[in-house]
Structure 1
Amino acid sequence: MHEGTPLRGCTVGVTAERKADEISALFERRGARVLRAAAMHTVPLPEDGELVAATEAVLAAPVDHVVAITGVGFRGWLEAADQLGLGARLREHLRSAELVARGAKARGALRGGGLGDAAWTSPTEESREVLDHLLSRGVDGKRVVVQVHGEPMAEFRERLRRAGAEVLPVRVYRWTDPVDLPALDRLLDAVIAGEVDALTFTSAPAAANALGRADRTGRGEELRKSLRGSVFVACVGPVTAAPLVAADIPCALPDRSRTAALVRLVSEQLPRWRAAPGS
């Protein structure tokens, strides 16, 4: 290992959309050759459509629980409400509810949005644990606001409904294929060809869409074979890793769900992983 540049001679794939420049620079500083390709694209929902209707539904009556799933999503909701002239009213309306955060970023968005600290934050940053917390509290007859990330979280919402809750989903953005789809195809081809040593993911939709894109283009099995054997796969946290784990693809996770920790993990473990017999 080269001191200061432990990734010299390694090629790292970066699939992030947000913070791609920052993550790539951190890897390059450690000597890596970086192949960048966003695996998904975040599309904010129109302010005059679904998000407005969801906000008005929340404001129609008092709410008992507010669930912040992602920091960027919850902040986006408050910012959209501000632009519509509903921000102050929405904040006042939500303050009387129990605030629940899926993780540290969502908790920070609650505080930063002027709502105060979360009454409970998931230690593992997993939606399943948030659901278990709400069900243990009892939600029969309660109005529960769920800030939904790009996936509809259908099972999460249905479990709450079956427990008697009125569920108010607030979807702030959705995910689509990346703007530069050919770049993603080139990265997948490089992984399959054995030209990538490590592939990194910072969001579950990116992981799911990378696999989905490979499936849609007839390369799904080849990609999975590479990710199960010749490529060191690293995810920023367990939520991000979930689509890969479901596909039986081993993933390395840092101790903390942060991009800097992800870069450190790859820097420390990839050289040893490449040197290990059979890698």
Structure 2
Amino acid sequence: MTEPAPVTGTDFGGLRVVAFESRRAEEMRRLIVRFGGKPLVAPSMREVPLEDQHEALAFATRLFAGSLDVVILLTGVGTRTLIAALATRYSTEQIIQALGRVTRVVRGPKPIIALGEVGLKPTIAVAEPNTWRDLLATLDTQLPVQGKRVAVQEYGATNKELLDGLRARGAEVLRVPVYRWALPEDLGPLRQAVSAISDGQADVLLFTSATQVDHLMQIAVQMGREPSLREALRQCVVASVGPICSEALTRHRLPVDFEPSHPKMGSLLGEGSRASAELLRHKRATL
């Protein structure tokens, strides 16, 4: 393991920053540089539309039959993928009319944008930090779901806590998975990141999704580097974009050293860059 970089200056101050963005990898690289860091961006995931969209089409059957009351949209990509699946059987006008008849609950700004692309607005928007707990709390105050038929557009994985929470509140729940998360086709950058972290060549890790954490640890185990990666993180700042991501880190028994005031990539970079130097000093002083 190499010696850790000295901690000096403000912002990242030349610290070696590892991130795991995929679709926004280049934007993340530019932001790290802008905030004074030395970037290593390793795409860690890709969205794979389900080949068999029978759940989406079953949702469509119920939607057009008027046998749904609420549709919960959790991601922008999922909202677009769901609308695209419906478009294989229905016109855009029919889809807009059908979605317009139900209560549309969205988690965060991205599904709002996706709805706006077809001329729709949400009925209820869940406020930051947009976790499943926030979603349930919002429904409790604005739309009790007792006796309601609720469809949930999933986001690459099933959120059991959300589904169980809806059922516990008396809702009839319909899962609507439309895509899944997979590892990137090119695993080279992610393996490089595992090696860099494990060899002490990283100072700050930035996570913007729970799946990034899962995939990093999956590759570390495959490479036989999990123990050395865990040891190396004792001398790194581990920054999480928000509560859902932090829960994944905790589930893997990894540290969570920093969360920004808002669960946004810009806030993670801006606030995290300013906090990293002091956090590193504290972690390394306690070793």
TM-score by length of 2: 0.84
1:179 partner SS? coil
Amino acid at match of 2:239: A
Q: Which residue of 1 aligns with 2:285?
A: 278
Runs of 5+ consecutive residues of structure 2 not aligned to the other structure? 1-7
Amino acid at match of 1:187: A
Alignment of 1:203-214 (within 5 A): 203-214=209-220
Aligned-pair distance for 1:121?
Answer: 1.5
1:125 to 105, 126, 130: 130
Partners of 1:174 and 1:33 in 2: how far apart? 31
8 Å CA contact retained: 2:156, 2:179: yes
RMSD of equivalent CA atoms: 2.6
Amino acid at match of 1:237: G
Aligned-pair distance for 1:197?
Answer: 0.6
Partners of 1:35 and 1:70 in 2: how far apart? 26
Partners of 2:90 and 2:63 in 1: how far apart? 15
Q: Which residue of 1 aligns with 2:20?
A: 15
Aligned-pair distance for 1:170?
Answer: 1.8
Identity of aligned residues (%): 31
8 Å CA contact retained: 2:239, 2:268: yes
Q: Which residue of 1 aligns with 2:266?
A: 260
1:42 partner SS? strand
Aligned-pair distance for 1:110?
Answer: 3.4
Could you say if the C-alpha distance between residues 25 and 58 of structure 1 is closer, same or farther in structure 2, counting changes exceeding 3 Å? same
1:236 to 236, 241, 254: 241
Aligned-pair distance for 1:158?
Answer: 3.5
TM-score by length of 1: 0.86
Alignment of 1:104-143 (within 5 A): 104-134=109-139, 137-143=143-149
Alignment of 1:179-198 (within 5 A): 179-198=185-204
Q: Which residue of 1 aligns with 2:104?
A: 99
* Deviation string, structure 1 residues 110-145 (Cα, Å, up to 9, x no partner): 344422233241332101221344456443332101
Partners of 2:155 and 2:98 in 1: how far apart? 21
Could you say if the C-alpha distance between residues 107 and 180 of structure 1 is closer, same or farther in structure 2, counting changes exceeding 3 Å? same
**Pair 1:70 & 2:45 matched:** no
Partners of 1:96 and 1:268 in 2: how far apart? 47
1:27 partner SS? helix
8 Å CA contact retained: 1:62, 1:93: no
2:40 to 35, 41, 59: 35
Could you say if the C-alpha distance between residues 98 and 53 of structure 1 is closer, same or farther in structure 2, counting changes exceeding 3 Å? closer
Could you say if the C-alpha distance between residues 84 and 149 of structure 1 is closer, same or farther in structure 2, counting changes exceeding 3 Å? same
1:175 to 171, 174, 181: 181
Q: Name the count of aligned residue pairs.
A: 276
1:82 to 84, 87, 94: 87
Q: Which residue of 2 aligns with 1:152?
A: 158
Partners of 1:118 and 1:109 in 2: how far apart? 14
